[in-house]
Each structure stands twice: as structure tokens, then as C-alpha cells.
Amino acid sequence: MCLEGEELDAYAAQFAEYLQIEKNASPYTVKYYLDDLETYHRFLAAEGIAEPGDVDQRIVRSFLTGLYEQNLSRRSVSRKISSLRGFYRFLEREGHLSINPFAHVSMPKADKPIPGFLYEEELEQLFEVSNLEEPLGQRNQALLEVLYATGMRIGECKGLKLGDIDFSIGTMFVRGKGRKERYLPFGRFAEIALETYIHGGRAELLEKAKSTSDAVFLNARGQPLTDRGMRLILNKLVEKAALTVRLHPHKLRHTFATHMLNEGADLRTVQELLGHESLTSTQIYTHVTKNHMRDVYMNSHPRAKG
């Protein structure tokens, strides 16, 4: 059965109808699928392939090689594989074919971007912008210190209760993903910021609410602070510090992990502090520290530069 010319157009039209009606795909999704089919059709025509049954693993590998030679991202290649796998599955279902040459093609591993982090100089600027004479300034300082001191997730920080903080031994009880719990240590700077806020600014904020709350971090109305509210606070701190970065809570988590490893902490300890199930999730930070280590070497070794 030929996939050329009008016949391919007919199959493509049937496939598009199947996506729209049975899969309830969006117009954008349908467009992407059809664009991928057109790319594949042009390749088959250039290879002189007329019958679907003539497409074997060698042809599939040649097609994928051509995609990589175009410097397409792994994500784009994965989408095209998915599109063609779905198209052939549709042809199988309709009885046009019995073999799907893309059925067992492995998806390329997704690119793992190196996480962004803040340098110590940038952090110092952030720590200097809050007005510690005001309740909101005390709260913002405490929030910043806690996120950097512990590396906890924003959801964990939002769920932090007053009873979770043990100032006598400097630890916090954190409820993580999948109801997994752990204790996190915190240092002197976070301790001072928390005590100042809890005994000062937080008490003033709570007076504005009509109900009590044991949440550590409160908004201007005395209600528990949301994760969206935390993001807004951090971005406003960045604006005040005149930094050119966008500071989301996870960047502070990345910064915590990167700085710990840069200062000699072992990977297993950082994994436990971050609450990662797998060491693989923590190992991404070693890429950052390797870059840092190379920069230090290039700038410090007498014979590193020509």
C-alpha cells in the first residue's frame, strides 16, 4: 500500500480526524502531527520508498540520523517519533498495515539542564534589602534565610508549622513529597531571622486575622502565605536588590545544594537534606560544581592559562 501523493494525504486526513474526534486533540497538536508526517513523507520520497512495508529498521535509523544532523533538540526528535508511532498505530488499527516500524524505537534521553543558582555575592545583596523594623520585612528575611539554610521545597516551607521548629537543637521537621518526613538543620542566621520574626512581626500580622494560625509564614492579612505569595516576595526582593535574575524558590534550593557541594559536603548528605529518593536526582548538582571547580582552577593555577 502506497503512502505517496493523494494516498498519503487521504491517510493523513483520516488520522487528523481520528486525533480530533477520538483523541480530542487540540488544533495545535493536530498541526504538529501533520507537520511531522509531511517531514517523514519527504524523507520517504527522497529514499524512493513507496510502500510502508518497505520501511525497516535501517530506514528508520536513517530518518532519525537525518533529524539529528539538522541539530534538532532531543525533545523535537522525541515528538516526531511519537507522531509517527501514533500514525502507524492508527494505520494498523484501520487494517492498512500489520507492522509498526516505530513501535520499538527508543526515545532519546531528555536534556537535563544544569540548574541555575545564585552566587554568594548575589545572596548577600538579597539579605540586605529587607527592612527589619517592619513586620513584612522581618517575614521576608526569615523566609529567605529558611529557604537558603535548609534547601526545602516551597510546598514544604508553606506547610511549616510553629511546632515544627526546635530552636534548642536547631532543626525543623519537614513533611516532604509522598508524605515522607525528615528533619533539617538550620544555622545561626536563620535562627536569628526566625526568632525576630516569630516574636515580633508575625505576632503583629496575626493580630490582623480573625482567626489563629500555626503556620510560620503569614501574609499581610495574617493568613497563611501561599506558594504564589512566596514567589512574589522573592521576586520583589530581587527587584529591590537590583539583580537581573528571576528568583523562584527552587533556585534557592539549587543554590543551597550547589554551595554545600562546593564547600565539601558529600553527595549522600546533600541527597538526604534535599529529600531526594534517588542519588541520581542529586548528581545533577555535580555538573555545577565541576564547572565551578574548573573556573577556580583556571583563575588560580599559575600555568592554567597561556
Positions marked active-site: 153, 177, 250, 253, 276, 285
End-to-end CA distance of the chain: 64
CA distances from 133 to 140, 192, 282, 285 (A): 12, 14, 38, 37
**CB contact set of 167 (below 8 Å; sequence gap of 6+):** 191, 194, 195
| CA 32 to chain CA centroid, nearest Å | 24
What is the gyration radius of the CA atoms in the chain, in angstroms?
27
What is the Cα–Cα distance from 57 to 101, expressed in whole angstroms?
7
What is the Cα–Cα distance from 84 to 32, expressed in whole angstroms?
11
- Residue 180 phi, psi (nearest 5): -85, 135
- Tell me the three state secondary structure of residue 295: helix
- Nearest C-alpha neighbor of 216 from the set 160, 143, 163: 160
Q: Contact at 8 Å (CB) between 39 and 76?
A: no
What b-and-e string marks burial along 42-67, b requiring 16 or more CB atoms within 10 Å of the CB? eebeeeebeebeebeeeebeebbeeb
Q: DSSP character for 166?
A: E
Q: Contact at 8 Å (CB) between 140 and 233?
A: yes
Which three cell numbers mark 30? 493536530
- Nearest C-alpha neighbor of 183 from the set 200, 168, 203: 168
- Tell me the three state secondary structure of residue 60: helix
